[in-house]
Structures are given as C-alpha cells and as structure tokens.
Amino acid sequence: MADVVVIGGGLGGLAAAVEAARLGREVVLCEAQPHVGGYATCFRRGDFRFEASLHLLDGVEPGGSNAAVWEALGLRERIALVRPEEMRREVWPAHDLEVPHGLDAWIDALATHFPDEADGLARLSELCVQAQSAYVRDRDARLAGEVLPPMRGLASLLDATAGEVIERHLRDPQAQAMFSALSGYLGLGPAELAAVPFLSMIASYQRDGGTFPIGGGQAITDALAEQLRAHGGKIWTDCPATGVETARGRVSAVHTPRGRIPTRDVVCAIAPTLFYENLLDCGPPRRLARRLERLTLGTSVVKLWLGLDRDLPDLPYEVFLRGAYTLRIEAGDPQHMTLVLQHRVDPTCCPPGQGVASLTVAVEAEPEEWTVERSQALAEAMLSRARIELGVDLNAHAVARSLSRPATFAHYAGHPGGTIHGSRAIPSQSGPRRLPIASPVGGLHHAGAWTYGGSGYLPSLTSGLIAGRTLCGAPS
C-alpha cells in the first residue's frame, strides 16, 4: 500500500514525489529506466561528462521569476549555480551579436543595429514582461490551490503565434528574426510557436538571467532523489508500471513487476497518450480522449557531443549560428544550430585545459526518418558550419564523441517519437490549453512536459510541485 504512486521519474515526477513525501504522504516512484531523471541527466565518455539536455536555467536566482519553485523544492542549498559572462553569441549573415544579461541591455543592443525599430522593440519588451507577470500570477495561484481566469490580461494573445506578434511591432525582417532567436529553446520557429510562452521565456531568461548548475541536469536529479528518500519516499527503478486499476471512478492500484500497489492517488509523469492507451484500465474519458487524439508532438533533436583536447578560449559558453533571417524555421536545417561549450560554466565536466562541446539542430520527432546515416550526415553539416562560421575545426580537436537522434531520446526518456518538448508549443497546446494537472479521473494527476507550464526544466518542476500539493490538498 502507498498513499501516492508516481509513474515516471523525470523532473515532473520527481518534483511531485518530493512534495507529496514532504507533506507526509507515503510515496513510491516507479521508473522504467535503471535511473531516474529522464532528460535531466549526464553521461560519460572517457574523461568527459556530457550534459544531455540543459542549456541554462532561467530565473532561479534570488528574486527571479522561478526562484520560488527552486526554493520550494529545496534546491537552493543543494546546488551551486554559475552565470556565464554573457547570455550567448549570435552569428547571423550580416550581424555578430554578443547578447548581454538583462532585458533592457539586450533591447538596447538590438536597437543599436536597428535604430528605426527602437519603439517597436520597447513595446515588445513590455509585452514580454506582461506575459511573464501573467504566467507567474497564474502559477502562484495554482500553487496556492486557486485558479485564475486564463492568463488574465493576455487573453488576446492566446491564439497568436510569436511571429504574428513580432510582425505587429517590427517591420525589418532582420530585426524580426534576431528578436526571435530564443524560439529554438522551445523547438519551433516563431511562425509556428505560441506567443505567450515565447514572450514569457524571453523575460525569464533576459531579465532574470540564465545560470547553469555545477554537475549539470544530473545534479538536479540527484538532489531531488536524495530529498525524496530523506522524506521516506521510495524509488523503484527498472520498474515500469504495467497497469492502473480504477474503482468507482477513481484510481485504486498500480501494477508493477514488483507487484500490485494499492493506492488512492497516482501521478502520471509519462506521455499521457501512452498512459491512457496502455495503462489505465478504463481508458480516458471521452472529452479527454478527443483532446489526446488531436495532440501533436513537439520536436526532437540531433545532437553531437565532443570531448575536446583544448578549451577554445575565444568562444563563449553558447553560440547560435543562424544562416537566414526568417520566422519560419524548418526542422532539420543545419543553418539554424546551437553550439554549447559546457566547460565554460562547469569545469568539472572535463580534465583541466580540455573542453566539452555539443552541437544541436531541432528535427521532427520521427525516429524512422532520422536514421543513423542521416543523423551522421547532419552532424557533419553542423561541424562544417562551425568551421566556416567560427573558424574552429571541432572535429580535429575531438578525442571523444557521442551522437544522439530521436530514436535515442525515445529509448532513454520514453517520449513518443523522441520529442524533448512533450506536446508541440503551438497556440492550441500552450499556456492554459496545455494538459491540466488534475485529470477527470479521481485521484489521477498529470505532471511533466506535457502539462500546464510547458516543456523545459522549470516548467516540468513547476508541474510536479503543483501536482504534489494538489493531491495532498495543501496549498503554499
């Protein structure tokens, strides 16, 4: 018997389990893989530790928009954070921009290149702050057990794409594209990406700042697992849920290879389509079933990690290489790629004087399309672009490497297609239109990238924190 069974040990599941255990519930977390964490993990190749997914955490420093979530989960005192000297460098066909920390500083930098767009940039900056404030109000209300009207004050933006909002305020196509550079963090070009999460994300990263945890995403996973056990919770790895029973309209037990676990509450922290199709004995209620049928997947990535024999001191932590000024970005296009040098912020990832690089391009979540051969060809195209645009032959300095494609992510995280974003961040699937945390089945809750809050480290942690408090009936 357990008060709560959490199915899935990614960040959403871990956060839900930690919060429920902290509030006195007996918790069992079931994870199909040999380890918890999902995408929040690291792996080793020889002397090098490769970060699986994390770029930067947004707004977790004191006073930041996500500081309350970070602190509520007890991560402030357990994890050391490092802020890179600059947010990123962006290399465009006719611009080379070093992006500073601070929303005003970034807007001023763009206005220097596009003085005729200064007023539009200022209005967009205000919209970013408004979007972030609306999200934080909504999130904090949910953490307190309340629900506000959907994104109060921003309802007119719920149906808009980021590209549509940008085009309302900026006329120059180059300025439009450069304002939208961060859209890649959500896996889509601004022509498709929902406006509200995009605008809020800009404020969260640019105004509140981005930091990296020493030890990478694995440090967050380890800290949450340690807390869960300290609060008396159990973690069962190599133990996928094989079925969920219901009785009189609510969950009643979870079946696992270790046996049947009677329970009154279940947190679904895996892909909801897989949960309702394969685990829940009664299937989804009709309205939810229709919603799941319409759900579209977010993108995946092809990602190349390299262990380097030198640290490449002339390059910053993160570089965006953008080959065209466009709001419509085709997945799988190496003209739009990202280079990250992890050792710039976390020197523990490699021996002194050496380095770790990762190159990433977003692709559709289609494992059968992204064969090993096609993924290798894309990796070579990324290396070629880095050599041409930055004048560095990463391949010549590589002494260790690893290549991942959608099938890799599907295998290790269990997400359909290998999506790293859950459901696609389009207007019909974003903000309050994301899958709700409380399900229509009694005692069943959702957490993770598919749910309210969206994809990414902080949204997933937020969803789990809300789920843990909701099932315990214990607002902040």
**CA dihedral sign, ordered 193, 194, 196, 197:** negative
Whether 220 is covered by a domain: the verdict is yes
**pLDDT at residue 453, as a whole number:** 86
Helix ranges restricted to H, 208-364? 216-230, 272-278, 286-294
**Residue ranges, the chain, pLDDT below 50:** 476
Task: Count the domains in the chain.
Answer: 1
**pLDDT at residue 476, as a whole number:** 40
CB 422 within 8 A of CB 450: yes
Whether 326 is covered by a domain: the verdict is no
Whether 389 is covered by a domain: the verdict is no
Q: Quote the domain boundaries for residue 443.
A: 4-43+56-78+214-296+423-472
Whether 335 is covered by a domain: the verdict is no
**pLDDT at residue 153, as a whole number:** 63
Whether 454 is covered by a domain: the verdict is yes
How many angstroms separate the CA atoms of 150 and 158, rounded? Answer: 9
Rg (CA), the chain: 22
Whether 206 is covered by a domain: the verdict is no
Whether 378 is covered by a domain: the verdict is no
> Which residues lie below 8 Å from residue 46, measured CB to CB, with a gap of 6+?
307, 399, 400
pLDDT digits (tens, 9 = 90+) for 214-248: 999 999 999 999 999 999 999 999 999 999 999 99
Torsion of Cα atoms, 475 then 244 then 411 then 434, to 10°: -40
The two tokens of residue 418 are 């290998």
How many angstroms separate the CA atoms of 162 and 184, rounded? Answer: 12
User: What's this model's pTM, rounded to 2 decimal places?
Assistant: 0.96
pLDDT digits (tens, 9 = 90+) for 109-133: 999 999 999 999 999 999 999 999 9
Whether 246 is covered by a domain: the verdict is yes
| CATH classification of the domain holding 220 | 3.50.50.60
Annotate 342-375 with DSSP letters as a single string: GGGT-GGGS-TT-EEEEEEEEE-S-TTTS-HHHH
**pLDDT at residue 193, as a whole number:** 97
pLDDT digits (tens, 9 = 90+) for 264-288: 999 999 999 999 999 999 989 999 9
